[in-house]
């Protein structure tokens, strides 16, 4: 009896508990889909999750970096839209090759992110406000470039967009999906195995402690926002590969989807805790719900939002409970130790 309880406690205290719940939820949703609709079983349905959500995955990775340091980046959707627009405009109105246009867009994302990060860190301002300003700025700039949709007709670009990368005989994925997976892998390695990544977590745990421990807090924070800017721009490229347009209202509200995905994937809004594979599953869960709705045929796509809203509530409450449980456990373990150590002190 006690053994079971201890196991349960250990599980809840484990850093992967939240991730496990997310994966389980995804599996349950997917399983239900398979049980209800025959078509769900096709591997391509699974691959489509990555194809359709490539941009969201990339953006979620970026925003997760900012969430770890108890920051936020509300400009991601707007930067994504601006990136699509600049890309479309460059391809439509100039003769620059595709790689150069993409490079320009990515550089732009880096500059926007770095600028926001610098302002936030240097003047110790609220990231919420600064990136909100960044969001308005980028949306505005997008409209300034063009109020109308710009079609992307560049042959190279459309070829890349429709290029299918086969996965055995099972199906295929798009270039965007592969980009998303690469970004995920790099982010996971950077966060888990580099000095920079660990400094990000330390800052999330306690910024003042991180500074006192001699970590480069300023630089790290600026780079975090730069990464978010870069990911938004790259997400824009992935988005353009699907939409083949530049449009002022692209990615509207995407920052919220990204935050939701990240949180469902186990990121704590109190900072210092996140798990990149979790963020992926956060996106995939939203994707599955959308797939459901398209299979079902009559429900409105807004049901996705409703379900995601409900899930968010559930997950936030779960996180709070985990944190509380952990606090209780830690109290016990600290008290459990001293007697063994203390005994020899005076008695001996």
Partner 1 sequence: MEQPVLLEMRHIDKVFPGVRALSNVDFTLRAGEIHSLMGENGAGKSTLVKVLTGVYQRDGGTISLLGKRISPKTPKEAQEAGISTVYQEVNLCKNLTVAENIFIGREPRKHGFIDWATINKRAAELLDSLGVHIDVTKTLDHYSVAVQQMIAIARAIDIEAKILILDEPTSSLDEQETQQLFRIIRMLQKQGLGIIFISHFLEQIYELCDHITVLRNGELVGAYEVEKLPRLELIAKMVGKDLNAVKHMDDFAEKSVPQEEVFLEADHIGEVGQLADVALKLHKGEVVGFAGLLGSGRTETAEILFGAHQPTKGQLKVKGKPVQFGSPMGAMRERIAFCPEDRKTAGIIGDLSVRENIILAMQAKDGMFHHIPYSKQVEIADKYIDLLKIKVSDRDQLIKNLSGGNQQKAIIARWLATKPELLILDEPTRGIDVGTKTEIQKMAIELAKKQGMAVVFISSEMDEMTRTCSKLMVMRDRRKVAELTGDEVNSENVMRAIAGGASS
Residues that bind partner 1 (CB under 8 A): 15, 189, 192-195, 198-199, 201-202, 204-206, 208-216, 271-273, 326-327, 329-330, 332-339, 341-347
Query: Which runs of consecutive H residues, i.e. helices, occur in the chain?
Result: 2-13, 17-36, 43-68, 76-93, 98-122, 127-145, 155-162, 175-193, 195-205, 207-212, 217-243, 254-264, 276-296, 302-336, 338-347
**Which whole-number Å values give the CA distances from 182 to 35, 57, 176, 187, 188, in the listed order?**
32, 11, 10, 8, 10
**12, two tokens:** 């809840």
Annotate 73-92 with b (16+ C-beta within 10 A) or e (fewer).
Answer: bbbbbbbbbbbbbbbbbbbe
Of residues 300 and 334, the one with the C-beta less far from partner 1: 334
Whose Cβ is closer to partner 1: residue 300's or residue 333's? Answer: 333
Minimum CB separation of residue 184 from partner 1 in Å reads 17
Shortest distance, position 346 Cβ to partner 1, whole Å: 6
Which C-beta is closer to partner 1: that of 168 or that of 344?
Answer: 344
Output the smallest distance, CB 233 to partner 1, in A: 26
For partner 1, which is the closer residue by CB, 164 or 343? 343
d(CA 267, CA 261): 9
Choose between 14 and 93: whose C-beta lies nearer to partner 1.
14
Specify the residue, 272 or 277, whose C-beta has the smaller distance to partner 1.
272
Nearest distance in Å: CB 275, partner 1:
12
Rounded CA separation 66/200 (Å): 9
CA distances from 133 to 56, 76, 157, 182 (A): 21, 12, 32, 30
**H or E segment and range at residue 166:** strand 165-167
What's the min distance (Å) between Cβ of 105 and partner 1? 29
In this structure, the chain runs to a length of 348
Q: Facing residues of 171 across strands?
A: 167
Supply the minimum distance, in Å, between the C-beta of residue 191 and partner 1.
Answer: 11
The DSSP H or E segment spanning 151 is: strand 150-151
d(Cα 106, Cα 232) in Å, to the nearest integer? 9
Q: Closer CB to partner 1, residue 63 or residue 215?
A: 215
Burial class (CB in 10 A: 0-12, 13-18, 19+), 176: buried
CB of 277 to partner 1, least distance (A): 17
Nearer residue to partner 1 within complex by CB, 95 or 335: 335
Nearer to partner 1, 141 or 274 (CB): 274
How far is 191 from 201, CA to CA, in rounded Å?
Answer: 8
Minimum Å gap between C-beta 342 and partner 1 is 4
Nearest distance, CB of residue 181 and partner 1, angstroms: 20
């Amino acid at each position: 009896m006690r053994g079971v309880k201890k196991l349960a406690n250990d599980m809840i205290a484990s850093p992967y508990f939240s991730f496990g719940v997310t994966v389980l939820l995804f599996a349950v949703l997917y399983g239900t889909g398979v049980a209800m609709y025959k078509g769900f079983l096709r591997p391509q349905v699974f691959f489509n999750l990555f194809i359709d959500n490539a941009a969201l995955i990339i953006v979620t990775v970026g925003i997760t970096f900012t969430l770890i340091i108890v920051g936020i980046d509300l400009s991601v959707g707007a930067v994504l839209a601006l990136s699509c627009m600049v890309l479309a405009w460059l391809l439509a109105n100039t003769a620059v090759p595709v790689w150069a246009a993409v490079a320009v867009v990515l550089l732009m994302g880096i500059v926007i992110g770095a600028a926001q990060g610098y302002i936030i860190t240097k003047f110790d301002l609220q990231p919420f406000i600064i990136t909100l300003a960044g969001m308005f700025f980028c949306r505005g700039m997008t409209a300034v470039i063009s109020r109308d949709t710009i079609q992307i007709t560049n042959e190279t670009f459309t070829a890349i967009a429709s290029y299918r990368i086969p996965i055995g005989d099972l199906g295929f994925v798009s270039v965007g999906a592969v980009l998303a997976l690469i970004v995920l892998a790099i982010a996971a390695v950077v966060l888990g195995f580099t000095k920079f990544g660990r400094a990000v977590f330390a800052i999330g745990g306690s910024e003042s402690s991180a500074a006192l421990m001699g970590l480069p807090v300023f630089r790290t924070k600026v780079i975090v926002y730069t990464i978010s800017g870069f990911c938004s721009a790259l997400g824009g490229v992935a988005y353009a590969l699907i939409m083949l347009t530049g449009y002022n209202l692209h990615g509207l509200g995407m920052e919220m989807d990204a935050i939701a995905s990240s949180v469902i994937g186990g990121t704590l809004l109190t900072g210092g805790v996140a798990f990149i594979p979790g963020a992926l599953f956060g996106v995939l869960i939203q994707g599955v719900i959308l797939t459901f709705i398209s299979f079902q045929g009559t429900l409105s796509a807004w049901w996705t939002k409703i379900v995601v809203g409900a899930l968010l509530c559930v997950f936030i409450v779960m996180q709070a409970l985990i944190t509380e449980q952990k606090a209780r456990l830690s109290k016990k373990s600290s008290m459990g130790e001293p007697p063994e150590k203390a005994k020899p002190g005076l008695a001996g």
